[in-house]
Amino acid sequence: MHYTIAIDGYSACGKSTLARAMANALGYRYIDTGAMYRMVTLHFQRLGVDLADDEAVARALEGIHLDFVPGSNRALLNGEDVEDEIRSMAVSSFVSPVAAVSAVRRSIVPLQQKMGANGAIVMDGRDIGTVVFPGADLKLFVTADLETRTERRLSELLAAGKNPSRAEVAANLLERDHIDSTRADSPLKQAEDAIVLDNSQWSLPDFIAAGMAEVENLYGRRS
């Protein structure tokens, strides 16, 4: 069976790590929708787009091409590998306002739906189980406490050669939580039929095992 698995949750809670691991274990395609919005953000920054200018936003979205390198899943913006650039604090600080723009979401959501149209996919983001694939076979909602999320995001940035302060990272996460959860179009929220995974204390192997256990339960229900 080729299932559609939707994983939603807050920034830096580990949902992308889980989604990638589950996709690898199942032989499914993995789509990081957060990277897609990061690519749009970088594109807008390069063009100097004013988010309040509807015409400028529309022009910037015309012809934009988002994809991923097969295998490595690195982000491709108009054919350019921008994986490292989209993980910067400059992009992180601007991605939630960009993702809140309705025109952006109207452009990206159909692309995400097309990518997952044939199933056998694990897709993570903030509105996958509620908007992109409300009929997904399995919906997981991942959360973790702010201290854990801050430490994980800080470690990622330091490993990438960046040096933000802990306070800066925590403030960015809280700001993104607020924008993502209160935006008018496709806000971050738990789908009614989603299974919650609190990743505050789990080790990585235990976290992945918890996700895969829900797949096993799905197989059992569908057999």
Question: What residues form the annotated binding site for ATP?
Answer: 9-17
Q: Which residue has the tokens 């256990």?
A: 213
- Which pair of tokens denotes residue 16? 């992308």
Rounded to an integer, what distance in angstroms lies between the CA atom of residue 196 and that of residue 100?
24
Burial of 8 (0-12, 13-18, 19+ CB in 10 A): buried
Secondary element (H or E) of residue 196: strand 195-198
Instruction: Please give the angle made by the CA atoms of 114, 72 and 130, to the nearest 5 degrees.
Output: 35
Contacts 24+ apart (CB under 8 A), 168-173: 168/89, 170/146, 172/89, 172/92, 172/93, 173/10, 173/11, 173/12, 173/146, 173/149
- Which pair of tokens denotes residue 17? 């790590």
List the one residue out of 211, 33, 65, 35 whose CA is nearest residue 130: 33
Rounded to an integer, what distance in angstroms lies between the CA atom of residue 106 and that of residue 21?
29
Question: What residues form the annotated binding site?
Answer: 9-17
Q: Which residue has the tokens 């789990």?
A: 202
CB of 150 within 8 A of CB of 170?
A: yes
